[in-house]
Amino acid sequence: METWINEAWEYALGKLSHTHTRIGATFPNASYGGKYDARDEDCWTNGFWPGILWLAYRATGDGEYRSIAESCEEQLDAPLQAYEQLHHDNGFLWSLSAVADYKLTGNTLSRRRGLIAASHLASRFNLKGHFIRAWLYEGSEGLAIIDCMMNLGLLYWASEELQDPRYRHIASAHSEMALREFIREDGSVHHIVRFDPDTGERIEALGGQGYSPDSAWSRGSAWAIYGFAIGYRYTGDIRFLNAATAAADYFAAQLPDDLVPPWDFRAPAEQLWAKDSTAAACAASGMLELAFLLKGEESEHYRKLGAAITESLFRHYSPQDPEEEALIIKGTGSFPHQAEVEVPIIYGDYFFLEALCKLKGENEIFW
């Protein structure tokens, strides 16, 4: 194993050994002035901190990580029971909290939480358009987004747990829709597609968190790489593998010298300064997933790419300031909304740590 992997691992675990006590059972989202903020229970990013703690618990057996993760999971019962607060991000929220807990400890209450979250997610499927509705607000009935690919693991997991193909059918139907409507010929992706919710007819693509309907939001590419790879892991459907590799090859071909993309590969030149390290971390972990699923030269190709991006994050995007709570800096939440521009974001930390776990040989995932 390359020396830097152990160095990066020591760095990440060393930092978490301090930060977990200050952050505790809250829901950090972005770090400002060196300290992570805390979100309300229904934010889509609230699975990532318990997910980080479960990764750390799995690696160290340290019960402090486990008990904070358990406390976060209990707090997520509020949005799980408040039906009106649930959107499509149940996978981000409960795969990394309840499902992770169940996979590591066998907790049957956690299993039930995961299954309830999966049932809610399945109920968002629009039978006419074959898409899972993304958001809650009035007017969003026909909107599907590429991010949803990362939520589908929860459905595949539920099908396996219940020995019932219904959830898998919905995840695969949404994925087939995404193959058709989101992935472009060159491997880049749309962020949002609008359908008529009554007829299922496609109306238009929208720019969303990308620069424009025809641009290439880098985190959207990362969601496609990893989400389709997970679909292939669960189903063995070669079309999902091909979509993941097409998205990965597009992403890799656009990368600048430091292997960390701008927020949108097709943003105007004067906006390319804004990096998104979260896209790099998620794409790296997705490529390492491909390396695990493939064999021979293809596997080695994606392992090298995933490792190189992770190494660059460690060498060039770990904070200079030892007091900074985040593991990596310069994530961009949404440049068009000027929200969280070049700040550390919790999902960047999650995917960075997950990629390091894979590079150390741990290939089981919570998704």
| Residues in contact with ligand GLY by the rule CB under 6 A | 44, 147, 209, 219, 333
* Secondary structure of residue 235 in the 3-state scheme: helix
CA distance 364 to 66: 18
What residues contact residue 326 under an 8 Å CB cut-off, 6+ apart? 31, 36, 319, 344, 345, 346, 348, 349
Nearest one of 352, 365, 366, 362 to 59, comparing CA atoms = 362
Toward ligand GLY, which CB reaches closer, 318 or 334? 334
Q: Out of 42, 89, 101, 276, which one is annotated catalytic?
A: 89
Q: How many residues in total does the chain contain? A: 367
Shortest Å, Cβ 208 to ligand GLY:
9
Residue of minimal Cβ distance to ligand GLY: 147
Instruction: Respond yes or no: is residue 89 known to be catalytic.
Output: yes
Toward ligand GLY, which CB reaches closer, 221 or 245? 221
Shortest Å, Cβ 131 to ligand GLY:
16
Q: Out of 101, 147, 264, 276, which one is annotated catalytic?
A: 147
- Taking only Cα atoms into account, the Rg of the chain, rounded to an integer number of angstroms, comes to 19
Toward ligand GLY, which CB reaches closer, 54 or 226? 226
Shortest Å, Cβ 286 to ligand GLY:
14
Shortest Å, Cβ 279 to ligand GLY:
9
Toward ligand GLY, which CB reaches closer, 53 or 224? 224
Instruction: Respond yes or no: is residue 77 known to be catalytic.
Output: no
Nearest one of 18, 5, 1, 2 to 353, comparing CA atoms = 5
CA distance 97 to 83: 18
Using an 8 Å Cβ cutoff, are 47 and 94 in contact? yes
Q: Which residues are the active-site residues?
A: 89, 147
